[in-house]
Amino acid sequence: MGSKGVTLDSSGLADLVTAVQFLCDTIGHGDLTPFADGEVVEFMQQLETCKRQLAALDPKLILEASERCLPESTGAGKLIPFLRQTLGLSAADASVRVKLARECGEFRGLNGQLNPAALPVLAEAAAAGEVSREHARNIVKIMTHLPSDLPAEERARTEELLVEKSCGGLLPDDLPKIGREIMARVDPDGTVFNTADRQRKRGIKVGRPGIDGMTWIEGYLTPELRALLDPFLAKYARPGMCNPDDAESPSTASNAVIDSTVLDAAARRDRRDAAQRTHDAFIAMLQPDVDMSKLGKHRGMAVQTVFVMNLADVERGTGYATTASGVQVPIDSALKMATGTRPVLAVLDEHGVPVYLARGKRLASGGQRLGLIARDRGCTHPGCDMPASMCAAHHVIDWAKGGPTDLNNLALVCDHHHAMVNDSETGWKTVMLGKDSPHAGRVGWIAPKSIDPTQTPRVNESHHVGERVASTLEARSREEFSRAA
């Protein structure tokens, strides 16, 4: 749909996209020096409106991609991985765009007719460039958390109020404050929210590790989980307990009796805040000496912590070990944790081949899986970031076709991409790359001809980015040393 309802064919739309790109390039190379201060501000505001209007096209494009099953046909499987691979987005950005598409986009029904957006007032304001993506994200979050039993008229008035305030100059960061005020008025006695609302909101999000190795966590706990968690924290997050900076601090998560005089003395030495004590209590609860045998098996292995580290890092005492779930732990901490009986430790040589393997107890197929974790780190499908803990062992040459259950014929693959491997025209194929390949010994994926007519095997570098960077830095260091010599 073009401006003022003018319908454009595919060539007309393509020409407009090209024109937009040309305008962006031209404006980007323009000289802003002749502009007065007020004109610069006005120019910024006009461009911001244009950018918002372009961003408002995302729901239409995302829903079109969904209706055409593009995520499935390209191997991404779902919209968020598809957007990440296609547009180079972060997981958080892709997730926000999908959420906005579901609330502000017009879905096509079974009869072919477009159904109105779930939040039509917000969709209209976004299309006009009157609200930013952050405004929209906060409004969607507030509307999502409204009680399910709230009357439709009250829900509509809430949407109108939020959009009106946003268009009137309210900053995105101030919207949550309005959201809390709205919640306080629609449910002043706490009677509108029911069990279904709480179950819908429940969840804990564990983010990706940052540059410093720290990971953010947020979420909502149901009253049931809170009831189970509070007694544990009351004991193990109290001052003096589980203090990693105090060798005499009681730190066991067992049922052992704790000497009150020892705890009182440790509490007087404790300088941690409440959040730090809660963090350290969780470490105590999940320490290797805690018996996890009652948790059974996962993917054919006992529930346990697996550490993979390079021999060179072990010898230097620096660097990081990587767990089966993709978390990096400093070498010294990983070695200390691996002295227990539960964790598994795998040490690799400079080629990524395991040279040492230790495990808590013998498993029927555990050794092979540990080798796969050490080599592949996670799903081997190009672009997939699923960690090893979420993958199955896949036969590169199918078992039914005589493929052996050997490490050189096995690869880690997540359930979604595992189901995509077949002999049909739309199926993907896997091969072990030979010694002539720069990725010798690793698994290559061949896309269907409809996606890649060249049938070129591709590998997944998502789990090996750190290794590539380390190799590059080492090569540069050798070059600089040679030049200096």
State the Cα–Cα distance between residues 71 and 328, nearest whole angstrom.
30
SS3 state at 239: coil
- In the three-class reduction of DSSP (H, G, I as helix; E, B as strand; rest coil), residue 206 is classed as strand
pLDDT score, position 342: 46
Q: Give buried/exposed letters for 454-473 (b at 16+ CB in 10 A, else e).
A: eeebebbebbbeeeeeeeee
User: How would DSSP label each residue in 271-298?
Assistant: ---HHHHHHHHHHHHT-TTS--GGG-EE
The DSSP letter of residue 221 is -
Helix (H) or strand (E) holding 154: helix 152-167
CB 50 within 8 A of CB 44: no
- Three-state secondary-structure class, residue 202: coil
Q: How many whole angstroms separate alpha carbon 97 and alpha carbon 103?
A: 10
Q: Are strands 306-310 and 344-348 parallel, antiparallel or unpaired?
A: parallel
Mean pLDDT by 10 residues, the chain (485 residues): 54 80 84 88 91 92 91 85 89 91 86 86 93 93 84 90 91 85 68 68 84 86 74 82 89 65 90 91 74 51 64 69 71 67 54 50 51 84 84 84 78 88 89 86 89 90 67 63 68
The helix/strand/coil state of 138 is helix
Give the integer Cα–Cα distance in Å for 383 and 103.
Answer: 28
Q: Give backbone dihedrals phi and psi of 348, rounded to 5 degrees, phi first.
A: -110, 150
3-class DSSP state of 69: coil
- Quick check: pTM over 0.85? no
71 and 79 Cβ atoms separated by less than 8 Å: yes
Tokens of 310: 């390079």
According to DSSP, the residues that pair with 323 across neighbouring strands are 307
Res 301: pLDDT: 54
Sheet hosting strand 344-348, strand order edge to edge: 328-330, 320-323, 306-310, 344-348, 354-358
DSSP-based three-state secondary structure for 153 = helix
CA distance 23 to 327: 44
Which residues are paired to 419 by β-bridges? none
Rounded to 5 degrees, φ, ψ at 449 are: -60, -30
Q: Are 65 and 71 in contact (CB under 8 A)?
A: yes
